[in-house]
Amino acid sequence: MFEVFGIPSTALFGQLLLGLINGSFYALLSLGLAVIFGMLNIINFAHGAQYMLGAFAAYLLLQYSGLGYWWALLIAPIVVGAIGIVIERCFLQWLYKLDHLYGLLLTFGLALIIEGVFRNFFGSSGLPYSVPPTLQGAQNLGFMYLPIYRGWVIVFSLVVCLATWFVIERTRLGAYLRAATENPTLVRAFGINVPRLITLTYGFGVALAALAGVMAAPIYNVSPQMGANLIIVVFAVVVIGGMGSIMGAIVTGFGLGVIEGLTKVFFPEASNTVIFIVMAIVLLIRPAGLFGRAV
Amino acid sequence: MQHLADQKGAGPVRSYSEAIAFAIMLAALIVAPMLVYPVFLMKALCFALFACAFNLLIGYGGLLSFGHALFFGWGAYLAAHLAKVGKLTLPYWFGSWQWLTIPLPPLPPELAILGGTLFAALLGLIVGALAIRRQGIYFAMITLALAQMMFFFAIQAPFTHGEDGIQAVPRGKLFGLVDLADPTNMYVFVLVIFLACFLLIYRIINSPFGEVLKAIRENETRAISLGYKTERYKLVAFVLSATFAGVAGATKSLVFQLASLTDVDWPMSGEVILMTLVGGLGTLFGPVAGAFFMVTLENYLTQIGQWVFVVQGVIFVVCVLLFRRGMIGELAKVLRVKL
């Protein structure tokens, strides 16, 4: 036990860890938002609801078919991603020629529906979801105790983020995606099925949100409104980072999580608002966002 | 926002259509308290004004604010506080944090509403100056984020009384003469505020300023190339919209004698968007019709509790997919007039 700036090291590193965990969710969600916005030109307001769906999928899989965390980690993103594909085919595909605002309004409506339905069936109080047995316990690192599950969340989400970056920036499929973002008509002329690419992109972004939801289930309770407040913070993260760069979204997500964690230690009153304050400062100094190109 | 201009091209514009519609609305609002519960009407009028204020920004400036509850809610908080307590304490930094106390008595209703309105205008200036630095979709996200920040502030600030809100706000006596505790007096007071603001908004929309605003909505780049400082126009529009939203919130706090967290939370921002969308974006009477429609609907839906959000969501989806002109917009198209 030692102290840093008069704060016991366990408290400091504990909050830092929590900040990194929040940061990994910010990163996963803002990554999904950025990928979806790039292809569909739609800000997916339902992203928070889809994150919540991921957590509920994990909970329901355990309750009704006895499938545990590891299965949920695989199945939930696929199921929720499939729901996303249905949403894209039924609703979003009619909006691409309209103003951006309509996409935001439609997905806002979808978020209200999804969250409202779940609140009616599961109530507002959280449902518990336990940490999988293999990841229980904690490791003593000397300066703090690291709960193994929390370490796993940070490492795994970092891996997922970097894998996404790799796919988009370094593979042939990613090259198609980036090309279709720049000029869909030209890419279609080369014989690539752009509408299907768009559908799959939306499904993938939604699946990322669901994956984050499954990982969040053992840390926070599973509750219908778990995504509603998170999505607003993620919007602020997206404004700070700018949606132009995948790596930018990852770095901003983790960075803001850490800032939030540190604020909880040194100035707890502002911990809810610090990300919004950072957003205001970034808007004053670099209006295009840290990694954004000027619009 | 091309489609918003649709109705103008829908046919020959009869210049009297708006005057006739206004006369019908006025007559309906004068007769209504004999048929309908006045508090319900006053609620609908406050939301109608809120929606008109929001429409000024999106319908004529093309700016979607997702944080208008901020101005409505804080207008309500400040008006309620001024009417009930009066005393203002502000923190300031002078070597260390100090409290500056302005010893005000509880204020009469007209000054309380004025105070709430001015505060909303100030917030509008700050939020607007930040938000117009980015365009389009970012604008919506920034306003939402800043509104959420002020929501957390409303939870923590002592004078808002957290979850309880400011309760039992006295309606007081207007100019020291008219007792607003009487429902009829209160209704007339709210109606006069609503009509004055409605006409003022009409005047703004049809002024040279309003024309420039519409030009910015249609093509901002061209407006810039014509020499207009579009950022200033957008900021003024934002402040005006926030101010009217503040009037609506302040009036609402006196009607219900309550200012609470519901007024500043994001579902309220969603609701005003929905009202405007249902009535018709960019139409003069659309927000009023939309507000009355939604308030009536919610009145009937109170029994079903949480399903209200689901119903709202369904209306959002239906409006965006099938019904983008809204009620008044469709009506104007059928009648081939401007409403």
Where along chain B do its domains lie?
Answer: 2-335
Mean pLDDT (whole number) for A124-134 = 85
DSSP B35-95: HS-HHHHHHHHHHHHHHHHHHHHHHHH----S-THHHHHHHHHHHHHHHHT--EEEEEEES
Show Cβ contacts of residue A122 under 8 Å, excluding neighbours closer than 6 positions.
Answer: A56, A223, A224
Q: How far apart are CA A187 and CA A195, in angstroms?
A: 11
Mean pLDDT (whole number) for A22-49 = 91
β-pairing, B96-102 with B88-94? antiparallel
CB contact under 8 A, B313 and A95: no
A281 interfaces chain B, CB cutoff of 8 Å: no
Mean pLDDT (whole number) for B266-276 = 93
- Measuring CA to CA, which residue among B144, B191, B236 is closest to residue B43? B191
Q: How far apart are CA A201 and CA B4, in angstroms?
A: 30
Give the B window 60-79 contacts with A, CB below 8 Å. 64, 66
Beta carbon pairs, A and B, within 8 Å = 121
- What count of residues does chain B have? 339
What's the pLDDT score for residue B15? 67
Mean pLDDT (whole number) for B100-111 = 85
Instruction: Record the pTM.
Output: 0.90
Mean pLDDT (whole number) for B84-105 = 80
Q: Position B224: which residue type? A: I
- Look up tokens 């401007």; give the residue: B338
User: How far off is chain A from B142, nearest CA to CA, in Å?
Assistant: 7
What's the pLDDT score for residue A23? 94
What's the pLDDT score for residue B11? 46
Residue of B nearest to A292 (CA): B134
- Residues of chain A above pLDDT 90, percent: 56
CB contact under 8 A, B313 and A120: no
Phi, psi of A60 (to 5 degrees): -70, -35
Does residue A241 register a pLDDT over 60? Answer: yes
Q: How far apart are CA B115 and CA B111, in angstroms?
A: 6
Q: Is there a contact between A198 and A84 (Cβ–Cβ < 8 Å)?
A: no
Mean pLDDT (whole number) for B38-67 = 93
- What count of residues does chain A have? 295
Nearest to A276 among B148, B312, B317 (CB): B148
Phi, psi of A59 (to 5 degrees): -65, -45
Q: How far apart are CA B258 and CA B250, in angstroms?
A: 10
Residue of B nearest to A122 (CA): B306
Does residue B12 register a pLDDT over 70? Answer: no
Q: Is there a contact between B317 and A110 (Cβ–Cβ < 8 Å)?
A: yes
The two tokens of residue B211 are 């024309």
Where along chain A do its domains lie?
Answer: 23-114+132-223
Q: Is there a contact between A131 and A218 (Cβ–Cβ < 8 Å)?
A: yes
What's the pLDDT score for residue A144? 76
The dihedral over CA atoms of A169, A175, A181, A184, expressed in degrees to the nearest 10, equals 180
- Measuring CA to CA, which residue among A4, A10, A19 is closest to residue A264? A19
What's the pLDDT score for residue A99? 85
What's the pLDDT score for residue A4? 67
CA distances, B315 to each of A111, A277, B281 (Å): 12, 34, 15
Does residue B9 register a pLDDT over 50? Answer: no
User: How far off is chain A from B40, nearest CA to CA, in Å?
Assistant: 25
If pLDDT is split at 50, 70 and 90, which confidence band does B176 have? confident
A91 to chain B: which residues are within 8 Å by CB? 317, 321
- Residues of chain A above pLDDT 70, percent: 97
In a 13 Å sphere around the CA of A284, the CA atoms on its Cβ side amount to 8
CB contact under 8 A, B313 and A109: yes
A249 interfaces chain B, CB cutoff of 8 Å: no
Show Cβ contacts of residue A53 under 8 Å, excluding neighbours closer than 6 positions.
Answer: A80, A83, A114, A210, A213
Does residue A294 register a pLDDT over 80? Answer: no
CA distances, A185 to each of A174, A181, A191, B202 (Å): 17, 10, 10, 43
Q: Is there a contact between A214 and A54 (Cβ–Cβ < 8 Å)?
A: yes
- Look up tokens 């999505």; give the residue: A231
Does residue A290 register a pLDDT over 50? Answer: yes
What's the pLDDT score for residue A268? 83
Q: Position B201: which residue type? A: I
CB contact under 8 A, A106 and B1: no
Does residue B207 register a pLDDT over 90? Answer: yes
- Measuring CA to CA, which residue among B101, B58, B105 is closest to residue B214? B58
Q: How far apart are CA B287 and CA B241, in angstroms?
A: 13
Mean pLDDT lowest among A6-15, A118-127, B293-302 = A6-15
Nearest to A283 among B3, B133, B312 (CB): B133
Three-class secondary structure of residue A64 per DSSP: helix
Does residue A3 register a pLDDT over 70? Answer: no
CATH of B2-335 given 1.20.120, 1.10.287, 3.40.50, 1.10.3470:
1.10.3470
B280: left (phi over 0), alpha (psi -120 to 50) or beta: left
Q: Max CA-CA distance within chain B?
A: 67
Does residue B303 register a pLDDT over 90? Answer: no
If pLDDT is split at 50, 70 and 90, which confidence band does A46 have? very high
CB contact under 8 A, A99 and B1: yes
DSSP A77-114: HHHHHHHHHHHHHHTGGGSTTS-HHHHHHHHHHHHHHH
* pLDDT per position as a tens digit, A167-213: 998 999 999 988 988 888 999 999 999 999 999 999 999 999 999 99
Q: How far apart are CA A89 and CA A199, in angstroms?
A: 7
* pLDDT per position as a tens digit, B222-246: 999 999 999 999 999 999 999 999 9
What's the pLDDT score for residue B5? 45
Mean pLDDT (whole number) for B266-278 = 93
Q: How far apart are CA B139 and CA A51, in angstroms?
A: 24
For Cα atoms A188, A191, A197, give the angle at the middle one, nearest 5 degrees. Answer: 60
* pLDDT per position as a tens digit, B153-171: 999 888 888 888 888 888 8
What's the pLDDT score for residue A293? 61
How distant is the alpha carbon of residue B265 from its chain centre? 14
Three-class secondary structure of residue B98 per DSSP: strand
CB contact under 8 A, B309 and A100: no
A125 to chain B: which residues are within 8 Å by CB? none
What's the pLDDT score for residue A79? 96
Does residue B87 register a pLDDT over 90? Answer: no
Does residue B65 register a pLDDT over 90? Answer: yes
User: How far off is chain B from A276, nearest CA to CA, in Å?
Assistant: 6
B1 to chain A: which residues are within 8 Å by CB? 99
What's the pLDDT score for residue B337? 85
B141 to chain A: which residues are within 8 Å by CB? 43, 235-236, 238-239
What sections of B157-207 are H helices per DSSP? 183-205
Nearest to A105 among B135, B153, B277 (CB): B277
Q: Max CA-CA distance within chain A?
A: 65
- First-to-last alpha carbon distance for chain A, in angstroms, is 49
How much is the mean pLDDT over chain B? 88
CA distances, A159 to each of A152, B2, B183 (Å): 10, 43, 63
A288 to chain B: which residues are within 8 Å by CB? 134
A155 interfaces chain B, CB cutoff of 8 Å: no
CB contact under 8 A, B136 and A100: yes
A234 interfaces chain B, CB cutoff of 8 Å: no
B314 to chain A: which residues are within 8 Å by CB? 109, 113
Does residue A283 register a pLDDT over 80? Answer: yes
Mean pLDDT (whole number) for A79-106 = 92
Picking from B310, B315, B324 by the largest number of A CB atoms within 10 A of its own CB, the best residue to mutate is B310
Helix (H) or strand (E) holding B206: none
What sections of B132-162 are H helices per DSSP? 136-156
If pLDDT is split at 50, 70 and 90, which confidence band does B10 have? very low
A187 interfaces chain B, CB cutoff of 8 Å: no
